[in-house]
Structure 1
């Protein structure tokens, strides 16, 4: 499910670990050694937590680059140091998702939430996963809990994810969640794109174009947003503008489904 004609969850990407302190020389050396060798050094509890955070960040970085073997190695190493670190289990869940292992992914996401039941990020990640598995009831419940948490730094992402989850079955409710997202962050790209798609489906091309202009001011276009712009310009009676956006779509995303389908489909 995602921003536009084809849904995508904006927050399903690997978590980024922040606030990691510079490690001591001993821990840096251990990170370069085998796990068994490091274990024999008798690291302190604090150093093991730091090593776990660093390995989790490395695992997330490898995951973003599509290097799944390296990502799994770093995440397993992180769990060796600190098996109860919630964020590591969340990243492991994303890895299993990317590997096409939904059962393992769900186990990892639920483990992350069990370790940090009040963590809105853990709720968001599991909620997104459940929505992608068409288990909307539990997924939306978790996403709304995340969005309404005062501890969540990016509630606009959870509001948008809840909207994506419900866009087909409850478009009015989904629109309300997107409005909430934009109230918190008027420039959140995924919410702008999603709301533009809903507006266009209701034949409100003026609103759709305005939202897409706001999107283009803060984020690079995607195949989906370019196709939405083509449709909006056509609906507004601007064939020349529609043609320009269609050419850009075909030039920038020639292999995308959007580039080969009819603009009005």
Structure 2
């Protein structure tokens, strides 16, 4: 499963709070003149990019609040200010994807990459979208580009997404390599720890799978998938008591999960 928290925007978008502030001290006359001069010197393109940035921030905030119509209006306005502002294309692509309009999502994810072809975040985002569309080989090209960006803050995320995409295509050896590379970049990448445990289990290496799942759990993480995997690992290792402990935890922590319901149905058979 590709987790969205790993692939949304690479930049943090902030909104200014509207509330009363104490009156600032007088500004020296020279400073006022300097500010006026800077404003005069700003180009039309600079002002367009600033308008695009502000409306993109507003659009993302509306989207996060579930106000999709308002978000679309702001993001459309952002692109009217400047079609060259890559984050606006990324955010509107995410919105289109949430609305089930994959055709328009693809256009804007690709446009963001075309505008910033060497940047990690847009390449990672487009790679994830392509992978979800069943285009694993094409997605790998963009994951590779993301990792090559020396200024990308989270190359381990792109590597984890690449491995997960390979895993979906049953390319277990390649997936394992990607997950190990991700952990070499960031040993605390919990998704990579879980996915490496998963792929090792699929490769019939339950002992090493257990070790990586234990590292995942040691970080305080838990999920229905991880608990079900723990059950399967212990069962394969012949540890029936350990397997049942995972089932108990699954039913207690996630009683309404698909995994818990599946184990209940099996127990009734």
Aligned counterpart, 1:254: 255
Change (3 A) 1:230 1:256: same
Q: Deviations over 1:68-87 (max 9, x none)?
A: 33332332233333332101
Q: Is 2:146 aligned against 1:146? A: yes
TM-score (norm 1): 0.79
Name stretches of at least 5 consecutive residues in structure 1 with no aligned partner.
3-7, 26-42
Aligned counterpart, 2:133: 133
Q: Secondary structure at the match of 2:152?
A: coil
Alpha-carbon distance between aligned partners in 2 of 1:47 and 1:22, rounded to the nearest angstrom: 18
Alpha-carbon distance between aligned partners in 2 of 1:248 and 1:44, rounded to the nearest angstrom: 60
Q: Is the 8 A contact 1:146 1:155 kept in 2?
A: yes
Deviation at 1:259, TM superposition (A): 2.0
Deviation at 1:117, TM superposition (A): 1.7
Alpha-carbon distance between aligned partners in 2 of 1:192 and 1:186, rounded to the nearest angstrom: 8
Deviation at 1:109, TM superposition (A): 0.4
TM-score (norm 2): 0.78
Q: Is 2:19 aligned against 1:18? A: no
Q: Deviations over 1:142-165 (max 9, x none)?
A: 111111221211111111111111
Deviation at 1:219, TM superposition (A): 5.2
Larger radius of gyration: 2
Aligned counterpart, 2:35: none
Q: Which has the higher contact order (CA 8 A, sep 6+)?
A: 1
Aligned counterpart, 2:228: 227
Identify, as 1 or 2, the structure richer in helix.
2
Deviation at 1:198, TM superposition (A): 0.7
RMSD of aligned alpha carbons: 2.9
Alpha-carbon distance between aligned partners in 2 of 1:87 and 1:171, rounded to the nearest angstrom: 34
Q: Is the 8 A contact 1:10 1:157 kept in 2?
A: no
Q: Is 2:151 aligned against 1:157? A: no
Q: Is the 8 A contact 1:163 1:174 kept in 2?
A: yes
Q: Is the 8 A contact 1:209 1:229 kept in 2?
A: yes
Aligned counterpart, 1:209: 210
Aligned counterpart, 1:194: 195
Q: Secondary structure at the match of 1:57?
A: helix
Deviation at 1:204, TM superposition (A): 2.1
The within-5 A match list for 1:1-265 is 2=1, 8-10=2-4, 13-15=7-9, 17-18=11-12, 46=46, 49-167=49-167, 168-218=169-219, 220-262=221-263
Aligned counterpart, 2:22: none
Q: Is the 8 A contact 2:247 2:263 kept in 1?
A: no
Deviation at 1:22, TM superposition (A): 6.0
Q: Is the 8 A contact 1:160 1:181 kept in 2?
A: yes
Q: Is the 8 A contact 2:15 2:57 kept in 1?
A: no
